[in-house]
């Protein structure tokens, strides 16, 4: 795991049902759970596996991401947000300190990632997803 000291940043680890690590440095906090909607907007970057829910929450937060896809839809989601310009991807086999620090440094140092993430957040916030979904469903029902 990269050390936040190498990036001059603090870190929050969301552990889920995993055991909380012991003896963490003072600038790393490990907790079982925090709502993504409350914690992501305060992050400078998010590292996650690329599930669609987490990816959507990161986009809504306007935060650049580093995705480490494992399986299922995660590689495709990672590729999509990388094409959007809001994310970088690293494989599980490369998930060691040096490559992760290098990728996070790119996300933090190059403003185009934050700028694009902010642009995507604005687009998402301007959408009325419920209305759009209802209109699409009604159009399909009319066609039947």
- Per the DSSP assignment, residues forming a β-bridge with 46 are 65
Domains of the chain, residue spans: 4-143
Mind listing the pLDDT tens digit for each residue in 84-110? 999 999 999 999 999 999 999 999 999
* pTM (two decimals): 0.88
Band of pLDDT at residue 144, cut at 50, 70 and 90: confident
Taking the C-alpha atoms of residue 42 and residue 48, their distance in angstroms, rounded to an integer, is 16
CATH class of 4-143: alpha beta
CA distance 142 to 52: 30
Are 12 and 34 a contacting pair, CB within 8 Å?
Answer: yes
pLDDT over threshold 80, residue 35: yes
């Amino acid at each position: 795991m990269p050390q936040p000291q190498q990036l001059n940043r603090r870190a929050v680890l969301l552990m889920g049902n995993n055991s909380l690590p012991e003896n963490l440095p003072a600038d790393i906090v490990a907790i079982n759970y925090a709502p993504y909607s409350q914690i992501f907007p305060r992050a400078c970057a998010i590292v996650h596996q690329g599930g669609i829910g987490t990816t959507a929450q990161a986009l809504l937060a306007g935060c650049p991401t580093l995705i480490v896809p494992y399986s299922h839809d995660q590689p495709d989601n990672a590729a999509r947000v990388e094409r959007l310009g809001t994310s970088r991807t690293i494989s599980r086999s490369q998930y060691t300190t040096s490559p992760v620090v290098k990728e996070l440094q790119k996300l933090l140092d190059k403003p185009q990632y934050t700028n694009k993430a902010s642009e995507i957040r604005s687009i998402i916030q301007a959408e009325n997803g419920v209305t759009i979904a209802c209109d699409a469903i009604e159009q399909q029902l009319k066609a039947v």
